[in-house]
A and B are shown apart, each in its own frame.
Chain A
Amino acid sequence: AQKITQTQPGMFVQEKEAVTLDCTYDTSDQSYGLFWYKQPSSGEMIFLIYQGSYDEQNATEGRYSLNFQKARKSANLVISASQLGDSAMYFCAMREPDTGANSKLTFGKGITLSVRP
């Protein structure tokens, strides 16, 4: 089974509207971390937001928030007030365990977001 699943086709959103990008994950670890990254056409991976498995509150960073539903094993990214510069690929990733010697990230396949003016 894939550890990170991102199945949405290309997403479109109108400028200034909110959009939700879906991510589900699979792990047997109790300790894990979930990340979202943005990759514009330039190729650089830009860190957006992090959620630890023991965090009780959903993470927020400016216009980004993470809708963490532990029982459903989902970690959806919500972007509020979309901007044209938000057009990019978005990747969900997991680190398991969240601390310790083995701390590589496992990425999903990504979702393309296009913001329409």
Chain B
Amino acid sequence: DTGVSQNPRHKITKRGQNVTFRCDPISEHNRLYWYRQTLGQGPEFLTYFQNEAQLEKSRLLSDRFSAERPKGSFSTLEIQRTEQGDSAMYLCASTTAGGAGGYTFGSGTRLTVV
């Protein structure tokens, strides 16, 4: 168990550019979640996958955001035409379905749009 891995840790991009983040969950976890956290706030749910199926998307996930989880393993979150309001920490978490325990979070990707 090597934990949930997120790459990159930090990303600075110019407004209008596209960015992609990667999350590698714990191998036996079939559920994967993406959250966004802005400064001074708690994480907000964006979307989640059970295996390769994307089961729910938040209204926060505009058309510029897309997430995939091919083969039910790692996941990517892409933001197209970034805006300054996209600046935030993007957190990934994984768990087993119906688990009574906690979700394991990665260390996040901090995005700064300049």
Contact = CB atoms under 8 A, between A and B. Distances in A.
Ordered nearest first, which 5 A-B pairs have the shortest CB separation?
A47-B102, A107-B42, A45-B105, A44-B107, A104-B45
Nearest to A47: B102
Interface of B: 31, 33, 40-45, 48, 50, 55-56, 89, 91, 93, 95, 97-98, 100-108, 110
Nearest to B108: A43
* Chain A contact patch, size range: 20 to 34
A106 interface: yes
Interface in A13-28: none
Contact of A47 (B40, B44, B98, B104): B104
Interface of A: 4, 33, 35, 37, 42-48, 50, 52, 91, 93, 98-110
10 contacts: A33-B100, A43-B108, A45-B43, A45-B105, A47-B103, A50-B101, A102-B56, A103-B97, A104-B33, A104-B45
A35 B102 CA distance: 7
B55 A101 contact: yes
Given A105-B45, A106-B45, A108-B42, A43 B102 contact: no
